[in-house]
Amino acid sequence: MTEQLRLMAVHAHPDDESSKGAATMAKYVSEGVDVLVVTCTGGERGSVLNPKLQGDPYIEENIHEVRRKEMDEARQILGVRQEWLGFVDSGLPEGDPLPPLPQGCFALEDVDEAAGRLVRSIRAFRPQVITTYDENGGYPHPDHIMTHKITMVAFDGATDTDKYPEAEFGPAWQPLKVYYNQGFNRPRTQALHDALLERGLESPYGDWLKRWEEFQRAERTLTTFVPCADFFETRDKALIAHRTQIDPDGGWFHVPMEIQKEIWPTEEYELARSLVDTDLPESDLFAGIRDNV
């Protein structure tokens, strides 16, 4: 190979990179791939979800700074690079009627203008592959949906020098593939649920599967299964580094590691766009690219 493989993972908040595709990134880092996490917002409006830290006045008053430190620790654990796009967290409005999004937040930005920041990052880093969320955001958080929108605009915009001039955004670059993270999929959830019950263990997925039935959630097309079980422990360490967001004794970690590795040793993706030929299903995000790099 004459040029290094590069993977960019575009996420909405600090901690998303550790819960979606983290083992994949750690695997590729171990193989010499250059991996960059782009985090769209600072997570400023995120709640303290770890009950052990709730009520801490320093954390609640300095959540932005705390989450930046958590992100830096997780980045080091995964071995990736990371940069901030600098948008402001939109929060997750709840209620009936649904309250409006706060002024100045990421989800209210002009999509083309916001994508320009990501275009600049893409042109500087020059990834062959990008991962992000699907059009539903993975779940309907306004920042996740906006992350999807700007990533898809930037995928094409990175090579559009009329829309994003080189003088301002850097030399044009065309990524070759973009994937949607689909790690929270029904086949995986059902397989782990069944394996736990067969072994006489309690499953944390019963309610998940019921909600899938109740809401008749549409199944996504899983195209790519990356074997990365050797990096599940690294993934969990990175996730725990986001200590304000993750309870280390919570449901994320109820499935014994040996069962995870035996029953479902991959992380899953949906190939959304490709400018190279590839055969589906894949086991490598760089399928169709490696031989030409």
Binding residues for Zn(2+): 13, 16, 144
In angstroms, rounded to a whole number, what is the distance separating the alpha carbons of residues 271 and 217? 19
In angstroms, rounded to a whole number, what is the distance separating the alpha carbons of residues 143 and 158? 21
The radius of gyration of the chain's CA atoms, rounded to the nearest angstrom, is 19
Any residues with CB less than 8 A from the CB of 210 and at least 6 apart, and which? none
Q: Are 278 and 128 within 8 A, CB to CB? A: no
- Per-residue H/E/C for 128-166: CEEEECCCCCCCCCHHHHHHHHHHHHHHHHCCCCCCCCH
Q: Which three-class secondary structure state does DSSP give residue 75? A: helix
The 10 Å Cβ neighbour count of residue 172 is 16
Binding residues: 13, 16, 144
In angstroms, rounded to a whole number, what is the distance separating the alpha carbons of residues 82 and 98? 33
Token code pair at residue 127: 């990834």
Any residues with CB less than 8 A from the CB of 162 and at least 6 apart, and which? none
Rounded to 10 deg, the angle between the 63-78 and 232-241 helix axes is: 160
Q: Dihedral of CA 75/32/279/272: which sign? A: positive
Phi, psi of 279 (to 5 degrees): -100, 130
